[in-house]
């Protein structure tokens, strides 16, 4: 894979490089990159936002986190990619406009098209170079999430400890293994990898920016050994597990459950109705757990996500 000279790889200790980086592919847009090089040696943190183009807390938090870094004390290197899928961002779309691809299902794969090429460039250039990846998401235009930050099964204790220390407003989450997802593929590569969700509805929630920024500061302090693990209290919270549930039928969805509510398997999630106001279906929870996401866009098509239950 051909890439142009990488100015973000030659940052002087104690300084930040902020600019547009052009990959070797002419059809991929330049990528906004922020890179801070600490004065002390240490690991590399990669923070990613807007892997889906309609999610806004991550990009805002990455900018604030970089602005607030104490460069005179910083250990290691921090790379921020605030807007990973720029063409989706400019289209205010979850997916890449040219091929309709979901970038967060395209990592580690061999498919053709702009989305696959972008995934390969991010993976080879940035994911391979990092020790810790934090991928910041939100519900996008279609969903609203419970704030949660997660790790993968078998990742060892590091990833779970980091997720649990991210901050009180963000619930611990055991992310299901889904091939092609950025954080899962980074985990498979042997990186410490976390993924986070904060509300959604294509809003920019100031509380989310604050929680993500504070969470990144805390994680980096722990990961670089500025804070000893022994100084940290145990976290008694049960993690959210589970996965998304999709609907077989479309219609206007009136939820009967609230975000954060505990439901039993088979509980009615809500009512789907048609344009005449006639009931079409009352979808039931596929498993017991906490309702961790619900639609923001209330008119559902068959195959759309109707909840996350975990």
Total residues contacting Zn ion (rule CB under 5 A)? 3
- Whole-number minimum distance, CB 200 to Zn ion, in Å? 8
What DSSP state is assigned to residue 3? Answer: B
Instruction: Examine residue 145 and tell whether it contacts Zn ion (CB under 5 A).
Output: no
- The H-or-E segment that residue 135 falls in is strand 132-138
- Closest to Zn ion by CB, 74 or 292: 292
| Residue tagged 């004065």 (tokens) | 39
- Percentages (nearest 5) of helix, strand, coil residues in the chain: 25, 30, 45
* Identified binder of Zn ion from the candidate list 60, 120, 132, 137, rule CB under 5 A: 137
Q: Is the dihedral of CA 130, 135, 136, 141 positive or negative?
A: positive
- The H-or-E segment that residue 185 falls in is helix 182-188
- Closest to Zn ion by CB, 63 or 182: 182
- Closest to Zn ion by CB, 55 or 160: 55
Residues 29 and 64 sit within 8 Å (Cβ to Cβ): no
CA distance 143 to 204: 13
Give the x-and-dash track for 25-64 against Zn ion (CB under 5 A): ---------------------------x--x---------
- Closest to Zn ion by CB, 55 or 185: 55
- Whole-number minimum distance, CB 80 to Zn ion, in Å? 17
CA distance 138 to 100: 19
CA distance 85 to 87: 6
- Closest to Zn ion by CB, 57 or 160: 57
- Whole-number minimum distance, CB 89 to Zn ion, in Å? 12
- Whole-number minimum distance, CB 57 to Zn ion, in Å? 11
| Interface residue list for Zn ion (CB under 5 A) | 52, 55, 137
């Amino acid at each position: 894979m051909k890439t142009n000279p990488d100015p973000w790889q030659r940052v002087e200790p104690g300084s930040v490089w902020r600019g547009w980086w052009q990959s070797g592919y002419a059809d991929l847009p330049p990528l906004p990159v922020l890179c801070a090089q600490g004065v002390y040696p240490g690991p590399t943190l990669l923070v990613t936002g807007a892997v889906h183009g309609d999610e806004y807390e991550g990009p805002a938090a990455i900018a604030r986190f970089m602005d607030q870094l104490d460069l005179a004390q910083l250990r290691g290197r921090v790379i921020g990619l605030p807007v990973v899928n720029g063409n989706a961002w400019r289209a205010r779309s979850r997916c890449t406009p040219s091929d309709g691809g979901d970038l967060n299902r395209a990592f580690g794969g061999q498919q053709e098209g702009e989305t696959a090429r972008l995934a390969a460039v991010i993976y080879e250039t940035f994911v391979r170079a990092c020790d810790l990846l934090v991928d910041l998401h939100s519900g996008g235009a279609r969903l609203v999430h419970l704030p949660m930050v997660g790790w993968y099964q078998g990742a060892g204790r590091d990833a779970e400890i980091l997720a649990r220390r991210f901050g009180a407003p963000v619930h611990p989450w055991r992310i299901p293994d889904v091939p092609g997802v950025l954080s899962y593929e980074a985990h498979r590569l042997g990186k410490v990898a976390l993924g986070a969700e904060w509300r959604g509805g294509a809003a920019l929630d100031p509380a989310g920016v604050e929680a993500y920024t504070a969470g990144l500061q805390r994680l980096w302090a722990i990961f670089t050994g500025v804070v000893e693990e022994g100084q940290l209290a145990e976290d008694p919270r049960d993690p959210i597990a589970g996965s998304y549930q999709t609907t077989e039928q479309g219609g206007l969805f009136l939820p009967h459950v609230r975000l954060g509510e505990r439901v039993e398997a088979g509980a009615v999630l809500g009512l789907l109705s048609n344009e005449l106001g006639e009931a079409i279906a009352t979808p039931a929870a596929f498993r017991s757990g906490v309702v961790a996401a619900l639609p923001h866009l209330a008119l559902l098509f068959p195959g759309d996500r109707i909840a996350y239950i975990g």
